[in-house]
Amino acid sequence: MKEFWDERYSEAGFAYGTEPNAYFEKIIKEQQLSGTILLPAEGEGRNAVFAAKMGLDVTCFDMSSQGKVKAQKLAKLNNVTINYKVGEFLEMDFKENSFDVIALIYAHFPPKVKSEYHKKLASYLKKDGVLILEGFSKKQFEINTEYKQSFGPKNMEMLYSKNEIQQDFSVLETVELSEEMVDLNEGIHHKGKGSVIRFIGKKKR
Give the separation between CA 66 and CA 44, rounded to whole angstroms. 8
Give the separation between CA 149 and CA 138, rounded to whole angstroms. 15
Of 30 and 90, the one with more pLDDT: 30
Q: Does residue 1 carry a pLDDT above 90? A: no
Average pLDDT, the chain: 96
Please, which pLDDT band fits residue 129 given cuts at 50, 70 and 90? very high
The predicted-structure confidence for 27-40, as pLDDT tens digits, reads as follows 999 999 999 999 99
Q: Where are the alpha helices (DSSP H) in 87-170?
A: 111-124, 140-147, 162-168
Of 194 and 13, the one with more pLDDT: 194
Give the separation between CA 114 and CA 15, rounded to whole angstroms. 24
Task: Give the distance, in angstroms, between the CA of residue 70 and the centroid of all CA atoms in the same chain.
Answer: 17
Q: Phi, psi at residue 162, to the nearest 5°?
A: -60, -40
What is the mean pLDDT of the segment spanning 60-77?
A: 97
Task: Give, in order, the Cα–Cα distances in Å from 69 to each of 45, 74, 93.
Answer: 9, 9, 21
The pLDDT of residue 205:
79
Q: What homologous superfamily does CATH list for 2-203? A: Vaccinia Virus protein VP39 (3.40.50.150)
Q: Phi, psi at residue 31, to the nearest 5°?
A: -90, 0
Task: Give, in order, the Cα–Cα distances in Å from 72 to each of 50, 52, 56, 99.
Answer: 13, 12, 16, 22
Domain ranges of the chain: 2-203
- Residue 59 CB partners (closer than 8 Å, separation 6+): 36, 37, 38, 39, 82, 83, 85, 94, 99
* Dihedral (CA of 88, 89, 95, 98) sign: positive
Cα angle: 51, vertex 53, 57; to 5 degrees? 55
The pLDDT of residue 78:
98
The pLDDT of residue 12:
86
The pLDDT of residue 124:
98
The predicted-structure confidence for 155-179, as pLDDT tens digits, reads as follows 999 999 999 999 999 999 999 999 9
Please, which pLDDT band fits residue 6 given cuts at 50, 70 and 90? confident
The predicted-structure confidence for 130-156, as pLDDT tens digits, reads as follows 999 999 999 999 999 999 999 999 999
